Structure 1
């Protein structure tokens, strides 16, 4: 059971107790009588749960980065904030969009429900939007026939594993971000699943070429050779979008990481 559903159930229960106490139960208690424990706790927790539910469902939600797939942008242990309304207002629990605001753009770091198991939240970077032809060949990215602007920078040292990865700066639609590649990793994509619209992708020894279907997005991790993403399990449907990640609010191992990111 996901946390949003648990929070929603707690909101309903505490809200029902609060309403029942105000309009019904108090009439049957003496003026100096103490509130029953279940009324005291239920009614007192209701405003707190309501505030948390509204903030988490419609404004901002916290997440913790569990893997290295978004290095060097996001590190394991980063606590991030995700904007819940920038891509539209959605009903909590069912995640159905009711008000359009903006659409995901190339370069955005987006949290979404994993297509193969919607109970899991994933975070990757938007590489292709609906209608794009995305080619990742020989570890180089091309969008609609135009190579993404890339420049080599100093190699990246993985402090926890003490090895280096090649590091690049990519610039797409005015958004710059760092990516990593490992020299010994193969170019081809192995163990790709049979995902919806797989016929829109061509796999070869150099990588893959995909046309992003309507209402879907192509996602990749910045740590390109250490990320299971759209190359392996396919496109992210619009209804799986959770929000746009924009701020690191805590990392117990490195407080200097606190701040916004791209």
Structure 2
């Protein structure tokens, strides 16, 4: 009888140890993100971030560290936005439209954010070409405060690809 209890205990311990190991592997690679801002820039409320996948392509959701000096957000915050531009892309934008490599983007205009922040719309008419290690990040709602305001982010600030869960 003791032999059966010992085997059962060993099986339970090994199972728990295996589950713990799987959880460790999962959380070493992935993390969850829950944006806390009232006015979202993406139409999702929960994301999973793959910290090992940093092969970013245009259109990917990307988690990154905000390493810009900005009066509206603290340096060091983590953001999730859409990579609208990748290295080498030409970005042209104004408050009402945006073009990536001369193709019009379906990204929402930035007039709402400009008015809310009481900014001069003329200051947000630009054309830039992204350098080798730069990405242009945007949101998909009228509330998005993104690269159109603070410029491209550096590749070294990318935390990983993000996936909307709901």
Instruction: Tell me what 2:146 maps to.
Output: 229
TM-score by length of 2: 0.68
Instruction: Tell me what 1:109 maps to.
Output: 61
Q: 2: CA distance between counterparts of 1:215 and 1:183?
A: 29
Q: 2: CA distance between counterparts of 1:136 and 1:245?
A: 25
Q: CA RMSD in A?
A: 3.3
Instruction: Tell me what 2:53 maps to.
Output: 86
Instruction: Tell me what 2:100 maps to.
Output: 143
Q: 2: CA distance between counterparts of 1:186 and 1:121?
A: 22
Q: Structure 1 pair 115/182, CA: closer, same or farther in 2 (3 Å)?
A: closer
Correspondence 1:215 to 2:133: yes
Q: 1: CA distance between counterparts of 2:153 and 2:123?
A: 24
| Greater RCO, 1 or 2 (C-alpha within 8 Å, sep 6+) | 2
Q: Which runs of 5+ in 2 are unaligned?
A: 1-16, 69-73
Q: Structure 1 pair 220/182, CA: closer, same or farther in 2 (3 Å)?
A: closer
Instruction: Tell me what 1:242 maps to.
Output: 159
State whether residues 139 and 207 of structure 1, in contact with CA within 8 Å, keep that contact through their aligned partners in structure 2: no
State whether residues 118 and 240 of structure 1, in contact with CA within 8 Å, keep that contact through their aligned partners in structure 2: no
Instruction: Tell me what 2:88 maps to.
Output: 131
Q: 2: CA distance between counterparts of 1:228 and 1:128?
A: 16
1:74-132 CA-partner distances (Å, limit 9, x unpaired): 2xxx2221122332xxxxxxxxxxxxxxx211111111011126632111111110111
Instruction: Tell me what 2:7 maps to.
Output: none
Please point out which of 16, 27, 49 is paired with 1:56.
27
Greater share of residues in strand: 1
1:135-178 CA-partner distances (Å, limit 9, x unpaired): 11242121122323xxxxxxxxxxxxxxxxxxxxx3xxxxxxxx
TM-score by length of 1: 0.46
TM superposition outliers: structure 1 runs of 4+ over 3 Å: 50-54, 179-187, 189-192, 203-206
The secondary structure found in structure 2 opposite 1:61 is strand
Q: Which runs of 5+ in 1 are unaligned?
A: 1-44, 88-102, 149-169, 171-178, 193-202, 249-257
Displacement of 1:52 in angstroms is: 4.8
Q: 2: CA distance between counterparts of 1:135 and 1:56?
A: 39
State whether residues 191 and 232 of structure 1, in contact with CA within 8 Å, keep that contact through their aligned partners in structure 2: no
The secondary structure found in structure 1 opposite 2:67 is coil
Q: Structure 1 pair 183/236, CA: closer, same or farther in 2 (3 Å)?
A: closer
In the comparison of the two structures, how many residue pairs are matched?
A: 143
1:13-64 CA-partner distances (Å, limit 9, x unpaired): xxxxxxxxxxxxxxxxxxxxxxxxxxxxxxxx9x94x655542332x21010
Q: 2: CA distance between counterparts of 1:236 and 1:185?
A: 20
